[in-house]
Amino acid sequence: MNINGITIDDTFAEAFNMRATRVVITGLNLKWAYHAANAMTGFATSVIGCGVEADIERELNADETPDGRLGVSVLMFATGSKVLMQQLETRMGQCILTCPSVAAFAGIEHREGLEIDQINLGAHLRYFGDGFQTSKLIAAKRYWRIPVMDGEFLVQESTGMVRAIGGGNFLILATSQESALNASETAIEVMKKVPNVIMPFPGGVVRSGSKVGSKYPNMFASTNDAFCPTLKGLTKTELDDDIESVLEIVIDGLTFDDVAKAMKVGIEAICALGVASGVQRISAGNYGGKLGPHHFKLHEVLKK
Amino acid sequence: MISLIFTLKSTPALKLDCSRLTPNGLAGLTMPQVSNLALTNNKTSPKVVDIFDISGSVSENIVFKNSNTQLHFIGHKMKHGQITIEGDCGDFLGANMQGGTILCNGNAGDRVGDQMRRGLILIDGDAGDYLASRMIAGTIGVCGSVGKLTGFAMKRGTILLNHQPDLHASFHATMQDCGTHNLPFLAILFKSFQALPSKFSTLENQRVQRFAGDLACNGNGEILVLQP
Domains of chain A, start order: 2-14+165-303 (3.30.70.520), 19-162 (3.30.70.520)
- pLDDT interval class at A114 (50, 70, 90): low
pLDDT (average), residues A254-260: 96
Contacts of B187 in chain A (CB under 8 A): 66-69
Nearest CB to B158: which of A131, A136, A139? A136
| Residue to test with chain B: of A26, A134, A135, A144, most B Cβ within 10 A | A134
State the pLDDT at residue B170. Answer: 86
Residue A141: which of A157, A153, A152 has the closest Cα? A157
Residue A103: which of A37, A33, A26 has the closest Cα? A26
pLDDT, tens only, A18-77: 999 999 999 999 999 999 999 999 999 999 889 999 999 999 999 999 999 999 999 999
State the pLDDT at residue B213. Answer: 86
Q: Does B15 touch chain A (CB under 8 A)?
A: no
Q: Residue B56: what are its φ and ψ, rounded to 5°?
A: 80, -155
- pLDDT interval class at A109 (50, 70, 90): confident
CB contact under 8 A, A138 and B181: no
Q: Does B188 touch chain A (CB under 8 A)?
A: yes
Q: Is residue B41's pLDDT more than 80?
A: no
Peptide bond just before A252 cis, omega within 30 deg? no
Contacts of B189 in chain A (CB under 8 A): 136, 138
Please tell me the distance in Å from B13's CA to the nearest CA on chain A: 38
pLDDT, averaged across chain B: 94
State the pLDDT at residue B42. Answer: 78
| Residue B50, C-beta contacts closer than 8 angstroms, at least 6 positions apart | none
CB contact under 8 A, A68 and B192: no
Q: Is residue A112's pLDDT more than 70?
A: no
State the pLDDT at residue B168. Answer: 81
Contacts of A28 in chain B (CB under 8 A): none
In chain B, the residue whose alpha carbon lies closest to the alpha carbon of A105 is: B188
* Helices and strands (DSSP H and E) totals, chain B: 5, 13
Report the distance separating Cα A189 and Cα B206, nearest Å. 38
What residue segments make up the domains of chain B, in order of their start? 66-226
Q: Does B211 touch chain A (CB under 8 A)?
A: no
Report the distance separating Cα B111 and Cα B32, nearest Å. 32
- pLDDT interval class at B228 (50, 70, 90): confident
Which of A271-280, B168-177, B194-203, B216-225 is least confident?
B168-177
Nearest CB to A67: which of B118, B181, B188? B188
Contacts of A143 in chain B (CB under 8 A): 185, 188
CB B92 within 8 A of CB B47: no
Report the distance separating Cα B135 and Cα B95, nearest Å. 9
Report the distance separating Cα A151 and Cα A100, nearest Å. 9
State the pLDDT at residue A111. Answer: 64
CB B118 within 8 A of CB B138: yes
Between residues B42 and A248, the one the model is more confident about: A248
The ipTM assigned to this model is 0.93
pLDDT (average), residues A87-94: 97
CB A182 within 8 A of CB A276: no
CB contact under 8 A, B188 and A145: no
pLDDT (average), residues B82-107: 97
pLDDT, tens only, A168-226: 999 999 999 999 999 999 999 999 999 999 999 999 999 999 888 899 999 888 999 99
